[in-house]
Amino acid sequence: MAALLEPAGSVGAAGTRTFAAEDLHKFMHKMNLAETPFMSLVGTDEQIGKVQFDWNVDKFDNPRGAVGHADGVDFTAASTENAGANRRRMNNLGQVFERLPGVGFIAGNIGNVPGVTDEMVDAVQKKLMELRTDIEAGMCSLDQMATDDDGTNGSLTAGLGALTERTNSNTGLSAVAGQIPSTYLPPSASNLGGTVLTVSTGAIAAGSTLNATNFNEASLKAALKALRAVTKRSRTYHCIVGQDIRDAVAAMVDPAVQESAATIGITATKVMMKMRQEDSREINSVVDVYRGTNGELHFITTNLIGKTLRDSGAAVTATRANRVFTEDTKAGYIICKELWKVRYGSLVKVEELAKNGGGDRKVLRTYAGLHCHNPSASGRIWYS
């Protein structure tokens, strides 16, 4: 029998055989690209024309009572109605989102990495995908407020957190960047915070600025009822939520959390049964849609809701270079997708940067901001 001619060599610290010939696959899979459900849902609106972009919000008056008009009586100036009395202005700021891929001289001209035909092409493709997640994280930020350009730091757009926060209100008639007119705040009952019961984490304390309530079916009913009271119609809303909130929704119909009094010492309030076909080998514990008398909630899981103004130690920092994205799995938003848009100042541009001997460099850059046609038909879920 012929001997194996490939030398065994030695095993390095990382488990590699230092003298053995390589058999390296020519495909390299990048597996952790986050989905961007918010941007996929809402789409884009008209182009941003300047750093601050404005729009008007309005609403109808409630029906009048039994007034009537006497025959032969003239109208007076006092009876004239101002159709623009409810009109308010909102605005937000745009933000530069950018990535800077670079490839050194050796890597770009001599490197031969299996799975990569061209290092710069691969870098640009990868950074374009990451740029989209940057924009999604900015739009879905829990703590990012509209911030103007100060000459050193660029402007920031107000995220979903700011535009669904009831304390972020403006009582005047003039717009304040990234704030909500006080008469267009989301209803209190659609801002949920309190103790959420999940299979894995148990009790989670209430968020301080929210309507403290347990996260359960009653709170979802209350949110839909409050939203209907504002919009005067039953709508379909999308709930873009973190993983713990999604687990809590699934737990609402999970018999495992509907225990009997003998097991956990409380009075059982509901008995639920799971049913499946006799020949089925699947167990379904997923809830995608909650349908109530006042509307529907469609749940979508995301990993891109979180805080964007914190450093790696979770402390708020004014130093832009130290800011990182921190995912919050216990938060989410209730949105009507027709009312939210991402507006761009331009499409993503790929530009060459000057070469100073270190290799090729490019900048991928776009300018975008969050637009809400009317924030009063929205809500937020935030447990901390």
Residue type, 140: C
In a domain, 24, yes or no: no
In a domain, 233, yes or no: yes
pLDDT number for residue 77: 84
Nearest to 97 by CA among 267, 275, 279, 344: 344
What is the tally of structural domains in the chain? 1
Cα gap 281→256, rounded to integer Å = 19
pLDDT number for residue 22: 54
Are the C-beta atoms of 193 and 100 separated by less than 8 Å?
A: no
Are the C-beta atoms of 244 and 196 separated by less than 8 Å?
A: yes
Are the C-beta atoms of 52 and 93 separated by less than 8 Å?
A: yes
At 306, phi and psi to the nearest 5? 180, -165
Cα gap 179→163, rounded to integer Å = 7
In a domain, 67, yes or no: no
In a domain, 71, yes or no: no
Residue type, 271: V
Nearest to 141 by CA among 92, 69, 68: 92
pLDDT number for residue 268: 52
In a domain, 79, yes or no: no
Question: Strand pairing partners for 331?
Answer: 382
Which residues span the domain enclosing 234?
37-55+87-275+283-382
Q: Which H or E run contains 291?
A: strand 289-292
In a domain, 318, yes or no: yes
pLDDT number for residue 57: 92
pLDDT number for residue 5: 46
pLDDT number for residue 8: 52
In a domain, 94, yes or no: yes
| pTM attached to this predicted model | 0.81
Are the C-beta atoms of 363 and 100 separated by less than 8 Å?
A: yes
Are the C-beta atoms of 246 and 196 separated by less than 8 Å?
A: no
In a domain, 350, yes or no: yes
pLDDT number for residue 267: 53
**Which regions of the chain are under pLDDT 50?**
1-6, 11, 17-21, 24-25, 195-209, 257-261, 263-264
Residues making up the chain, counted from first to last: 384
Using left for φ > 0, alpha for ψ between -120 and 50, and beta otherwise, residue 359 falls in left
Instruction: Provide the CATH number for the domain around residue 336.
Output: 3.90.1690
Is 81 strand, coil or helix? coil
Which class for 326: exposed (0-12), middle (13-18), buried (19 or more C-beta within 10 A)?
middle
Question: Strand pairing partners for 365?
Answer: 98, 349
pLDDT number for residue 308: 93
pLDDT number for residue 198: 32
Angle (CA) 242 243 245, round 5°: 70
